Amino acid sequence: MSKVNHTLPPKYGLKLSLDYVYPEKRNQDYRPSLRVIWSILPLILRYILFYIKSKWKGHKVVMDYIFPRKPEQIYGVPIGGIGCGTIGRGYKGQFCRFQLKPGIYEWNTVDADDFLVVIKDEKGFTLFESWLSTYRKRSLSSCISKIPEYKIKYTGLYPRSWTEYDLTEYGGVKLICRQISPVIPHNYKDSALPCAVFVWTVENVCDSDRTVTIAFTFKNGTGSKDDKKSACSSKIFSYENTEGVILYHMIDKMPCAYALAAKTTKDVSISKCLYFDPKSDGFDDLWFPLAENGEFDKPKKSTYVSVLVSVVICIVITSLKKMPSTRNTPEIINKSVVARVEKLEEALQQGMKDLRSQVTSNISASGNVYNEMGCGIAAKMRVPANQTKEVDMSLVWDMPTISFPNHKKTYDKFYTKHKLPDWYKGALFNETYFVSDGGSLWLCLNEEEKKRLASNDNDPRNAYGHFAYLEGQEYIMYNSYDVHFYASHALYKNWPMLQKCLQYDLRDFISLEINDPLKVLYNGHIVERKYPNTVPHDAGSPGEEPLALINAYPIHDVSSWRDLNSKFILQTFRDAYGSSPSKPDLQYLEDMYSTCYTIIQKCIKHEINEDGLIENGGIPDQTYDSWTMSGVSAYCGGLWLCALKGMSIMAAQLGKEKDAQSFQSILNKAKPAFEKKLWNGKYYNFDCSESQSKSVMADQLCGHWYLGCSGLKTYDVFPEDNVKTTLKTIYKSNVQLFCDGNMGAVNGTIDGKVDESSVQSVEVWTGVTYALAATMILEGMVEEGFKTAGGMYNSMTKKFGMAFDTPEALYDKKYIRAVAYMRPLSIWSMQTAWEMFNNR
């Protein structure tokens, strides 16, 4: 059996040389035509007034169209588990985009958060020292980045990344940093850990011994101006074969701890640095002791300082005796690393109360200041000529109790087959970044909820709590259900119990009433915030009290949206049947059925012509909220037909034959009416209006896609010939004729040209493109499916640098909208489709 060198980067993923320059820059400054602006002018004026009032009151705006974020072409694989906060990383080594305040992103790049390298020869002479990131710093100027970017290669394959440094001509050394976060499918314990591990492989490629120092620096806070407002203290700890430093501080009135640690071995001796000032040049506390001695000076037993706190962990790799020559070092990140991180996490949580009682004799209290301070460690090892050694380091953060801005409540966190194209193997993992880096929350039940749910042992929330994530890093609403419908494939495929927890929460929200008056911005009408027996748009905003105060979306009255009810039913069907169509989850069906029945009866009220079809109202009443539909529409009508099919199957499964016959009867009446009203021989018309009915909608087979990914293999809703003909039409009109097939599927086209009737018809929705590609794969159009999605993904990652920042929408040129968005998680439906296609 051949040996695999796990230290080397994989073939797939985001692969860049750090001197790569993206050939295209995009922004969010798209301006629609005057005709479109005129049609939505009242909405624009109401939004501006709403925006001013919100800012004046200090409220978070859930969708900021006035100052949208400027995209940055910097992002690599973020770090952190699911629901515990994340810290973004740039592919050039920077630590950026902090999401430690629940649901709130701070796009700060912190100079003091970095790795550095020092290389000494066998006589102790310093050959080379440099930061290991290559972006320009404003502070800590005594050392600069001296490594040419073309000598550094980056590979990102979420949740891992590899950075390769060729320092041969500077000190005869090559470095590889392997970064990994514990995002593990079907693992609900370790996936919640707020940590990352960095394994450094140091290869001495010259004929003389080398001493190599890898230092890891980190400061308190998140790089904001509020960092200096937090009193901090730090402690040194030692636990089993791990040593490190813990920094206690506050973030937005919430206790937080950072811990940086290193594994100790017989070849490693460790020294500690207690603090440095990140606003200084860094010479006295960082560069001089490392360059002079290869280690930090011993810390004083008591230190009181008034400087901006930083934490430094330094691992100095120096061989104490020669090692056997080897080029294939074993994989370090394994169960033992996870175990060590778990122990460190336990120590952190205990430390919030009394760390000293957890590891009594191994902790040295070295600082207790009332302003700010810092600390660090270093390890020492020699690398013999032409040999390789490894050292693993970790960053852990702990915010066990969180609250939202009004601080009304506190919450406790819940702790490749060869035929596939290479781009896809990287994209599938890399798009999954949003599960953790989408402002995700994973919370324990509070005491009231525990009592309420105690009687239902089958409710997954008893074991797994609540899970929520944002619609986008700029659209700060949790679990936006019209969008989660697409994104949920990632949870369903990898963490199905989290998907079910989210669905149980939504089920409970449906019956809820919140009679607070809400003035919707679209038409100025006053409506209830949440009407009973309606599917909410979202589970609330981090600016208020999510999971309690739901429906934060202020633009439209969502109580009469035509797609939400069908989407709840289809997700229920998929969650119950998808993994085992012959043996569905009967308890789950029992728990969801009455709610499904209630909301489908609400849908029937939108039937106008007694033909079994619901109709749109010519207003924004579905997820395409700026692309209105009138009468019967391909999108909402198709979802409705598929929901009827799902209801008939679920009712029959539960022995509710009368219900099953009723739903099947409506479906039998609605199907021919749908075909008659919308089928034109090549595709389904957009809707029944005169102005835009001929638009070819990329998402018109959305319902068929969902049933297919749920394991339903028949054509009981749409005729097979019509499905295949429609997909061919979309592929030609919306994919091939748009940007030469290299930008995904534009939402709408008429006669082969982009439909410019609305703001959203001209957009490419990244998540819809992945869903369309999955539908093509299900129907045997495998090559077309991968070309559709691959053209878009390659453009985003190679041309205009949107890796780990995937937007909701792309335009043909220059513009994007809503960076770091939920819907692209629908790429996991492509994997479901691929597996189903191969199992036929």
Residues 162-177 as b or e (16 or more Cβ within 10 Å = b): bbbbbbeebbbbbbbb
DSSP string for residues in 515-539: EEEEE-TTT--EEEEE-TTS--S-S
pLDDT bin (cut points 50, 70, 90) of residue 468 is very high
Choice among 38-42, 494-498, 622-626, 753-757 with the minimum mean pLDDT: 38-42
Say what the pLDDT of residue 530 is: 95
pLDDT bin (cut points 50, 70, 90) of residue 315 is very low
Choice among 137-151, 170-184, 535-549, 809-823 with the minimum mean pLDDT: 137-151
Q: Which residues, at least 6 apart from 411, have a Cβ–Cβ distance to it below 8 Å? A: 102, 401, 402, 403, 441, 443, 444, 446
What are the pLDDT digits (tens) for 491-540? 999 999 999 999 999 999 999 999 999 999 999 999 999 999 999 999 99
Q: What span, in angstroms and rounded, lies between the C-alpha atoms of 728 and 81?
A: 40
pTM of the model: 0.82
Is 313's pLDDT higher than 50?
Answer: no
pLDDT bin (cut points 50, 70, 90) of residue 414 is low
**What mean pLDDT is reported for the chain?**
87
What is each CA distance from 720 to 663, 698, 704, 713, in whole angstroms?
Answer: 22, 18, 11, 11
* Backbone angles phi and psi of 575, in degrees to 5: -60, -35
Say what the pLDDT of residue 142 is: 84
Candidates 1.10.565.10, 3.40.50.720, 1.50.10.10, 3.40.1280.10; correct CATH number of 416-838? 1.50.10.10
Q: Do 300 and 284 form a contact (C-beta atoms < 8 A)?
A: no
Q: Do 358 and 235 form a contact (C-beta atoms < 8 A)?
A: no
Q: Give me 639's structure tokens.
A: 């979802």
Q: Do 804 and 87 form a contact (C-beta atoms < 8 A)?
A: no
Mean pLDDT on 115-128: 91
Is 580's pLDDT higher than 60?
Answer: yes
Mean pLDDT on 85-99: 95
Say what the pLDDT of residue 363 is: 31
What are the pLDDT digits (tens) for 44-78? 999 999 999 998 988 888 989 999 988 899 999 99
Task: Indicate the SS3 state at residue 283.
Answer: helix
Q: What span, in angstroms and rounded, lies between the C-alpha atoms of 736 and 746?
A: 10
* Backbone angles phi and psi of 599, in degrees to 5: -80, -25
Q: What span, in angstroms and rounded, lies between the C-alpha atoms of 700 and 643?
A: 15
What is the 3-state secondary structure of 233-269?
EEEEEEECCEEEEEEEEEECCEEEEEEEEEECCCCCE
pLDDT bin (cut points 50, 70, 90) of residue 265 is confident
Domain range summary for the chain, segments of one domain joined by +:
74-402, 416-838
Q: Give me 685's structure tokens.
A: 């018309």
Beta strand 310-317 with 375-380 is parallel
Tell me which of 690 and 660 has the higher pLDDT.
660
What is the 3-state secondary structure of 570-631?
HHHHHHHHCCCCCCCCHHHHHHHHHHHHHHHHHHHCCECCCCCCECEECCCCCCCCCCCCEE
- CATH class given for the domain over 74-402: mainly beta
CB atoms within 10 A of CB 414: 23
Q: Do 576 and 551 form a contact (C-beta atoms < 8 A)?
A: no
What are the pLDDT digits (tens) for 333-375? 344 444 555 555 555 555 444 433 332 223 334 444 445 555 5
Is 4's pLDDT higher than 90?
Answer: no
Task: Indicate the SS3 state at residue 771.
Answer: helix
What are the pLDDT digits (tens) for 189-222? 899 999 999 999 999 999 999 999 888 989 989 9
Choice among 229-238, 323-332, 397-406, 510-519 with the minimum mean pLDDT: 323-332
Q: Give me 278's structure tokens.
A: 């990140």
Q: What percentage of the chain carries pLDDT values higher than 90?
A: 64
